[in-house]
Chain A
């Protein structure tokens, strides 16, 4: 491969225009090219999924920007299906020769496998409910604007004798999904996030927000929250591990409850690897716990269709503690004779489906009220390195991080050294005493979701660390 022409490099203006997504028609044109090539080749069924993204991230630590990146890319992922055999090939080369080669590779992969009698024909045309998640203000955000916001956070830290670290990211993306049976859909969104850790002496705290519209959060306000909590987090006292009443901020709830998501997949239940195997229809959680999957919720992000282009449905997974429903791909739905819920992964795959837009219903107890009503407990800012210890009891282990505080007699008393927990999420959600208002929660472990703060009794901390 060699450059297409031999122009001399330009030395003109240093201004770089903000990157922009291609017009949607260009993506449709690429998809149409693939379908045409596939038809010419006599391929029975073809699916084309094109994704384009523009991402940028400003990263800071020690009160300075140390990494600052931007990327732009387009990926064509195509699937052919012939005589009950299917395979996927993905490329970021869009020249006709490359697309033709990808089709041939897909055919070759598909033809060298046993026939799958349960493989369904590709779906036809669908009806979609529109969502609007593209905000020009986010798409137009420049490196310099992110750098200035970061500078403000770093200056705040310096004024307070603290050290700031974090990220300010923004991006935009679009996708087009079509198949040879007439299905066609498209989606685009923007996203942005500001995450900040403030350190004072050896104490740290953290705050994060994310949204499709960058104007929904104020980076400096988040920096102030983290800064004030870091100041309070100094001189932590070591407590003996044991069972505590905990007040989990939304990020901590997200990181625990969010890791339940695959358990709600019909395929996981059929494979007997879900903690809900044998528990459907039963009161697994407390009566104050209701969980749904709802891509249309105004606080959610994500496309309103699944990996095969089936429209996503709102599904009530847990209703007042009782496991009511699972999510289904076309394949898993057919196996039990119901309609798919629009949660399937792109085919072929072994995992089936999953809810990716969890919404945990909130209550009306504010975080402050939770603290005020607690005689002795722990306020948890954030959790870290959460892993599954036991898949059926859903015991998760992990650490508290960036601000753990003892609450005594309705007030925050002092900081506490971080604990390790080993806690069943099922049991935890039976021990919820009260919930706060639900909102878009951003953590670092599980996917973003809508979650409230929670006050929970008998949360099991097994060991303590050195800070």
Chain B
């Protein structure tokens, strides 16, 4: 075990600052001196380390020095064979993972509740999605994890599939049986990719669901900037023993910037050290906060803050108790309505609201008094806004019908039609309900009556729908003549 108290990138940047190197390289703000307003806004110490690659600071595209050391320490801390620092968000980590595993025409098995970045990667590489119908909880209106039996059947039906992607945990905290799924996939010769955007803490906390690397998965995309505390847009790509890391680096370099930000990179280094040294204590606190808030919110009435009682041994194999997911349907309010009320009336910004649920993100940065405010505001919203819940649409999962590969449909000849006239046509673009960014339609899918009315309903309820060229989603692009 090497010394996790080290932070090689941080040390190198501090050395550079002490040396007072005279900058005749980019960035042109020259340690902030050329842009006083920016320096005043972000702070001198921040600007002084916004620098370019140089020998003592290594190079993200070809790490041989301090970046490599920092990545090795990270790999060790996460129990991975290799770790890559990513500066294009977890989106870039997810895309690299897919581009490194499947090629044009290859089949990849995925749950429908994947992040937009996954299907975008399929547009880039031309692989064909095989969607697993996620199990859904119709009462809560959320997609659950993957059922092991569904995985077994799908692998049997698609013997040529090259990879399987697992969302673990989901945004809501639901975990699949990652160990069994990995075993089955490996027996079938598939590579196991895990979108672990919401699971950084699985590697460090006590009593956590199993992490991707511990379960034997081949690759995992980990959002250090979510529960790990690093800067927004910094992320990690972890690889297991069976993956050729040199090839993965080539894939990353296809799309990643050659001017990786040292602000982002150093935040990964510092956060990894912090998690390795204090992770248990940090996530104990987060779990305590979340448990307390859950109990208090459930005591208000009508709200349902769910947890491990959902576990059913399969599609809910485990639950991430740091997540504060709350169902609002019994209140007669859509999650998105509660989300808006919290912000507009009570000055509280939560992570997201969908049709039936809200998620408040709990972290080490929280304070008791803010947790109390959240609980009390929810109590007040119930007192003041509760209404008859008859017209609430509970479930939001609609099974897709894939007619073309995302790449073929995305680049095909297309025409624009009013939403109401789109039924029966093949969509050539995305329709995303955001957050949490799960596709309602992806390129190549059949537009059904159910989908059209879902889009209209989500618009009415104030969800942000994104993706189509037509920003108001009054029209959709469909394949010409089909």
A and B interact? no
